[in-house]
Structure formats: structure tokens, C-alpha cells
Structure 1
Amino acid sequence: MMSSAFESGLLRMRPRCQCSPEWSGTLCTERYDDCRNGGQDLCVHGLCIDADRLIAGQPRFQCICESGWEAPAGNPACVADVDECNLANKPCSTNPLVPCFNTQGSFYCGNCPSGWQGNGYSCQDVDECLTNNGGCSSAPMVQCLNTMGSFHCGSCPPGYEGDGRTCTQANICSSNNGGCHPLATCTSTTGSSFPTCTCPEGYTGNGYGPSGCTHISNICQTNNPCVNGQCTSTSSGYICHCSPGWEGLHCDHNINECSSNPCQNGGTCTDGVNGFTCNCTAQWTGAFCQTPQQGTNH
């Protein structure tokens, strides 16, 4: 009996501890670890960091969320997906604009648009002009002009028409007869911006412009082409009848009578119009230096 009474007295004498919310045990030596007690899935998509309890019996902790996850209001667990595509700082390229696709806990970017290269997070301009002149004409050569995300071709050179990618020989004769006389035949010449103008039968001239072709029946009267001769009109043109000493289509070339070497015995020939003069040596005389001078021994 005495033993039981003694033990009861000791129990009444042992101190009783009032623990704070974070601690437990007879002497308040056991600390609560809410992360360990709550298991691995307490934060779901994050790392659990234990915190001191403020209210007895109420676990307290915080979660460090993994990238792409966040804790919703009123719930410390990382169970809410972060929509990266709606963040203020867009994760995908904005210049040029690349589409962003949100996924649970992550996201991905679409492809860079045509004219750009990269992974979608960033895009760089492609210089199309570095390859095959960008598709612009190379015969004839047309300048390729690179722009951000694209390019364009310059104009076709004079004498050609097209969009710069393809240039074809322009038909210069299709407008205003190419500048030829209205009656002339206009013909385009490859590689040239000027046409060939040909006057019709019964007309003469270079064919260019309003006065490029002249009616042959009037040419002998209006513009005598025979310089040193008489002009006679024909059905196909005209004929020049040259004055003595002249030759050529328009009688504008002096005949060189000295070309036949008419001067004899060392005489020197001087050409004239429709004639010549022989300058004889001292021993000879005559029109052709054919007569010996009197008193000269040979």
C-alpha cells in the first residue's frame, strides 16, 4: 500500500508541459515535420518545405513548385498549370510572330514562318538572294533585294518586260509602231531596245520617225539624191546618171583617171575632174609624155 501511495505522489509532483503548436511530447521535445508526415505527394508538382505550425493541430508547410506549375489560391500544393503562352514576357518569338501552344506543366513553340529560320523561340531572317539570285531573272540579270522575312525582285532592264522573276523580250513594235514611220515595217531586234524600220516598196529613207520614208516618185524633185548627175525615177526607186568624171550610186565619187597610169616615160599623173594632167620629165613632152623633146638624144 505504501508503495502505491508513493508512486502516486511522484506522479503528482512530475511537471506537466504546455507545448507550442510546433512541438509535442511530454517535455515538448518532438518537432512536427509536416512534409515527412504528409508523404511525397503533398505538393504534387513541387518540393515541400516544412514551416513552423502557428495553430495547434494544423499542419503548416510551403511548396516550391516545379517549372510550369503553381499553387492556386487557398491550396499550397502545386496543382495549377502555368499558361506560359499568356505571360507578359512571351516565350516564343514575337518578331516574327510564332504561335505558342500550352501543355500541362509546359509549352512548345510553332515553326518560324516562311523566310525565317530558327527553333520558334527565336527566328532569324533568311537571305534568299544568296541562293540562285533569290529566283529573280539571271538572263537578263535582275537585282534581288532581300527584306526581313522575304525578298523582292527589281525591274526588268530596258527592252524587256515582266515581273523581275521572268523577263521576256519586249515587243517594241507593239506601241506607236516602235517609233517607225507609219508606213514602215517595224521589226524587234534581240538584245536591243531599238527596232529596225523598213520603208515599203515605192518609198525610200531610214524608216525612222514621221519623215523616215519618202515616196520615190517625188524624190528626184524634193530631195535629189544624185550629187553630180541627173536623177530618173523608176518603179522600184531611182537611177542616177552621173556627169563625166563621177561614179557611184549617188554620183558622189570622183573617177581617178590616174589609176590606169596613163603618163608614160616617168611622167607623174595628177587626177582632176573628168581628166588628168601628166607632169613630164625634161626629156619628154605631150599629153601622155609620149613625145621626146627636140634636141634630146635617147
Structure 2
Amino acid sequence: VCVCVCVCVYSDKNCSTDIDECASEPCKNGAICFDLIGEFYCNCTPGFEGDDCSEAVNECMSNPCDPVTSLYCEDLVNSFRCICQLGHSGRLCDIPISHCVNGLCQNGSQCEDFPGGFRCHCLSGLTGQFCEVNIDDCQMQPCGTFSICKDGLNSFECFCAPGFIGNNCEIEVDECLSDPCQNDGTCTDHLDAFSCLCPDGIEGVFCEININECHSSPCLYNATCVDLINGYNCICLPGFTGINCETDIDECASSPCKNEATCIDQPGNYFCQCVAPFKG
């Protein structure tokens, strides 16, 4: 009787059957096993290597992530993931993130992009994170208490109250500069006004009126009154005298009557009462 002693890679009594090394599923991680004579071959799925495909390939070994803008590389199955620093994105962390989208900083202000954020450089007169707030240039009352201030962009405009002039309404108008008071009246300046202190005999807002002292008829006995400044003059009729022509002149004082006639004084005249036989 003959007995066949088979090499270890064959079986059956005639040593004609190849042993299937793939029957024990030696290939790992989903690899495909190919049976060969006396051995096997594993066709590894992506991401694995080794005779039995049991070793995971480290995709981070090639340093695929940007060394400046990434924090570290995370190895995955048949892949990797780059953990980016703030301000960068992309598969390799090679794309800078721009926060400065159009119009983010308002009113023409400049936007500065930096890792993890942005900064608006506001134009003069603006404030706020987005330069959206117009600073109130009227807050400190640059036009004074009485005038109106209109705020602009880094500017203001003053609408002066009556009696004030100047860019900031800082000059009070001296209404006395135009010499409004007449007849030597004294002018006193006020806010948007003036007052005149008139000399005696003068009245009116501008001291333009000469008080008529003849209005009260101070001259007596039909005398003519002539108005003066702060006074009057009486032109007396014949036979009268005095400031107001109040004194009747005694025409008999000069003894105008002759021949022992009696002189009778009359207003502005006299009468002789003659002794007989005289007359005249």
C-alpha cells in the first residue's frame, strides 16, 4: 500500500488539492483575499496597509496641512482632517477667512481683517463697532445756550439766536454801535435790544422827540411861546415882563401924566385922569 505524504500546502490522499489559505479570512478591514499556492495575498482597502491589511495608513505623515495656519492634523480612515487656526479655513487651512464683507464698516470707513475677527477704522465724527454712530458734535453746545446747533458728519452748523453772530454765535451784537440814540442820548446795549437814556427835554425810543414845553401854555397875557430844548422862551406883549410874562409893567412909574393928573395903570398901557381944565 502506497501512502502519499503531502507538502503542507496540499491535501487529499493524492496531494492534488491546494489548501485555501483565505478560508481563515486572514485579510482585515474589508480587504480582498487572493489564494495562491501555499500563500495568500491581501488587496487592502484604501487607508490600510500591511500583509493582512491590519495597519492603518497615517495620512498625516506627509504633513498635508499648512504648517502656519493649522493647529494639527487629525488622521482618519483613508483621509485626514486639518484643524485650522482662527481666521483660516479650507481642507488644508490654506484659505484665509475674510470678515470684511462689503458694507460691514459703514459710512465709508475702512475695515481691517485679522485672525478671528475684524476692526472698523472709523472716519472722523463716527464711532461704534461698525462706525454706524454719528458722534453728536452739538452735545457740548458749541453754538451757545440760545442758538440752534445742527449736527453733521464731524461738523456742526450754528443758527444764531437774534443778537448773536459768528461761526459759533460767540459774538453778541452791540446794538449801540450804530448810534441809534439821538440828541445826545446815552445808549445801553442789551441782548438783541438797546435802550436810550434821554437828556432832559427829550423823549422817545431813540430820543428823537423834543418835548414841547409850550404845550402847557406857560406864557401869560397872550405872549408867544417859543419851544426850546428842555425849556421855552416867552415873547411878551408890550407892557408885560417876566419869565412867563406874568408881570404887568407899571407904565405909571415914569409919571407920564402931566398937570397933576392921576395915572391909572392898565395891562400894557396906562390912562391919565386929568384935572380940569386939562385934558388929553
- Which of 139, 144, 166 is matched with 1:118 structurally? 166
Q: Which runs of structure 2 are paired with 1:258-269 in the superposition (5 Å)?
A: none
Q: Which runs of structure 2 are paired with 1:269-288 in the superposition (5 Å)?
A: none
Residue number in structure 2 paired with 1:195 = 233
Residue number in structure 1 paired with 2:32 = none
CA contact (8 A) 1:127 1:146 kept: yes
Change (3 A) 1:100 1:161: closer
Taking the aligned partners of 1:79 and 1:125, their CA distance within structure 2 comes to 37
Task: Give per-residue Cα distances to partners, 1:72-121, cap 9 Å, x unaligned.
Answer: xxxx4233444544x3x124x124x2222345x466424334433212x2
Task: Give per-residue Cα distances to partners, 1:150-206, cap 9 Å, x unaligned.
Answer: 433221x323332235233x221223x33x45x45350243461331636x8x6442
Residue number in structure 2 paired with 1:94 = 144
Residue number in structure 2 paired with 1:232 = 263
Taking the aligned partners of 1:44 and 1:213, their CA distance within structure 2 comes to 97
Q: Which runs of structure 2 are paired with 1:71-90 in the superposition (5 Å)?
A: 71=128, 76-85=129-138, 87=139, 89-90=140-141
Amino acid at match of 1:188: V
Change (3 A) 1:78 1:13: same
Change (3 A) 1:172 1:186: farther
Tell me the percent identity: 23
Where structure 1 has 5 or more consecutive residues not aligned to the other structure, the ranges are 54-59, 241-298
- Classify the secondary structure of the residue corresponding to 1:188: strand
Residue number in structure 1 paired with 2:181 = 136
CA contact (8 A) 1:184 1:207 kept: no
Runs of 4+ in 1 over 6 A off after TM superposition: 227-231
Matched, 1:171 2:212: yes
Taking the aligned partners of 2:185 and 2:60, their CA distance within structure 1 comes to 108
Residue number in structure 2 paired with 1:208 = 244
For normalisation by structure 1, the TM-score amounts to 0.50
RMSD: 4.2
Considering only CA atoms, is the larger Rg found in Structure 1 or Structure 2? 2
- Classify the secondary structure of the residue corresponding to 2:214: helix
Matched, 1:63 2:112: no
CA contact (8 A) 1:100 1:109 kept: yes
Residue number in structure 1 paired with 2:14 = none
Residue number in structure 2 paired with 1:44 = 106
Amino acid at match of 1:136: C
- 1:13 offset after TM fit, Å? 3.7
- Classify the secondary structure of the residue corresponding to 1:48: strand
Residue number in structure 2 paired with 1:252 = none
Where structure 2 has 5 or more consecutive residues not aligned to the other structure, the ranges are 1-42, 51-55, 64-72, 74-81, 273-280
Q: Is the helix fraction higher in 1 or 2?
A: 1
Count of residue correspondences: 201
- Classify the secondary structure of the residue corresponding to 2:59: helix
For normalisation by structure 2, the TM-score amounts to 0.53
Change (3 A) 1:198 1:12: closer
Q: Is the strand fraction higher in 1 or 2?
A: 2
